[in-house]
């Protein structure tokens, strides 16, 4: 209250009004969702208020969820949702407009199926728009279902989840035989924090790299193969060696550097991981994810620092989160994205750590 009183004395009511406007503009999705809840309390007054409540609530929830994905990987959903209730006489005109999604929803505030239908119509258009032409139907639908499930879980829309599982999924499985396999795979990766941070991030860049070329079966095969590689990494048991150092396709070139053997860290420090980054560069990899958990997180941070300082790689993002290990236990994880750069020959100057130049 002291800060509020000082603001009133210094800026007056106009200053507070401007401050309020800034808060609303920078949190428009949350304000929209709250406005939908408020309008819902007035739904009994008439159909117009009720429809506005349904529309505003769904738009706010979806757009707020879309912005939350930016904290894990930017640009996954570059568009906002906009819903409109239309009459039959408006359909012909609406269908002639480009980039328009018509969603069939019910004029009932408490019908969670509206949110499911809206998301499953919105995701194929707004989620990973550049990559969509290069993903096969089963993979694309599995992504949409996983993202929709995440939104429903966060909002605790349990009746909508039941509708998704009992009505939507069975129909999808009958039309797309591989859908169940991909949904199970993405659910496993999502528990380990790799679905949004790795799969969706890579597919975002995959679509940008293909650059509107004519879709070919090879594009869909590369996307499927990358999913399989990440799933293999996630299923790896502690101490188990990987058959391949990473995944290299025509457009996706990514590897994991797993940091977690305590004895090795104590005896050799960052040296073996820096050597591995150099090895990946010699093979032509362009990106590496440093992955560590619990007590190994500090070493992952050190490896990224030394790799960047030694001009081996450039650090892009670092995310700490709670994920599950191979035994289903919740652990503190970190995932550091590194862009691998060409190595430059340099002599070891005095006063520097040897491991910086290995």
Tens of pLDDT, residue by residue over 301-347, are: 999 999 998 868 999 999 999 998 877 889 999 999 999 987 555 44
Sheet of strand 313-324, all strands in order from the earlier edge strand to the far edge: 246-248, 253-259, 287-293, 330-340, 313-324
Of the pLDDT bands very low, low, confident and very high (cuts 50, 70, 90), residue 207 is: very high
Tens of pLDDT, residue by residue over 19-41, are: 545 544 555 555 555 544 544 44
Domain boundaries, the chain: 1-124, 128-235, 246-357
Give the CATH architecture of domain 246-357. 2-Layer Sandwich (3.30)
If one compares 112 and 224, the residue with the highest pLDDT of the two is: 224
Of the pLDDT bands very low, low, confident and very high (cuts 50, 70, 90), residue 223 is: very high
* Helix, strand, coil distribution of the chain in percent, nearest 5: 60, 10, 30
The H or E element that residue 5 is part of is helix 2-26
Question: Quick one: what percent of the chain has pLDDT higher than 90?
Answer: 50
**Checking DSSP bridges between strand 246-248 and strand 313-324, what pairing results, if any?**
unpaired
pTM of the entire structure? Answer: 0.80
Residue 286 to residues 214, 236, 253, 272, 312, Cα–Cα distance (Å): 24, 23, 6, 19, 11
What's the pLDDT at 298? 93
* pLDDT at residue 103 greater than cutoff 50: yes
């Amino acid at each position: 209250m002291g800060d509020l009183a000082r603001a009133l004395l210094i800026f007056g009511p106009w200053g507070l009004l401007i401050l309020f406007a800034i808060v609303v503009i920078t949190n428009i999705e949350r304000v929209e969702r709250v406005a939908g809840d408020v309008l819902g309390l007035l739904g009994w007054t008439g159909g117009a208020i009720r429809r506005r409540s349904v529309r505003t609530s769904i738009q706010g929830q979806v757009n707020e969820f879309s912005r939350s994905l930016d904290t894990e990987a930017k640009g996954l959903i570059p568009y906002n949702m906009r819903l409109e209730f239309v009459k039959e006489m408006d359909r012909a005109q609406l269908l002639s407009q480009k980039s328009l999604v018509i969603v069939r929803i019910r004029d009932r505030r408490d019908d969670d199926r509206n949110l499911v239908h809206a998301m499953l119509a919105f995701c194929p258009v707004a989620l990973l728009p550049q990559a969509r032409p290069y993903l096969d139907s089963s993979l694309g639908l599995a992504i949409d279902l996983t993202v929709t499930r995440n939104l429903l879980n966060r909002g605790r829309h349990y009746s909508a989840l039941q509708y998704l599982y009992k009505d939507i999924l069975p129909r999808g499985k009958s039309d797309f035989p591989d859908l169940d396999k991909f949904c199970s795979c993405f659910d496993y990766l999502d528990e380990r924090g790799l679905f949004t941070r790795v799969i969706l991030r890579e597919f975002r860049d995959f679509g940008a790299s293909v650059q509107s070329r004519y879709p070919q079966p090879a594009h869909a095969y590369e996307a499927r193969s990358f999913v399989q590689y990440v799933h293999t990494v996630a299923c790896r048991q502690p101490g188990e060696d990987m058959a391949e150092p990473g995944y290299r396709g025509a457009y996706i070139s990514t590897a994991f550097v797993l940091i977690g053997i305590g004895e090795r860290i104590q005896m050799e420090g960052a040296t073996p991981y820096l050597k591995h980054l150099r090895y990946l560069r010699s093979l032509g990899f362009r990106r590496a994810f440093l992955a560590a958990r619990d007590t190994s997180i500090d070493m992952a941070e050190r490896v990224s620092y030394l790799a960047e300082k030694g001009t081996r790689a450039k650090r892009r993002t670092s995310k700490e989160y709670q994920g599950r290990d191979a035994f289903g236990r919740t652990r503190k994880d970190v995932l550091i994205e590194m862009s691998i750069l060409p190595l430059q020959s340099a002599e070891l100057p005095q006063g520097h750590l040897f491991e910086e130049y290995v």
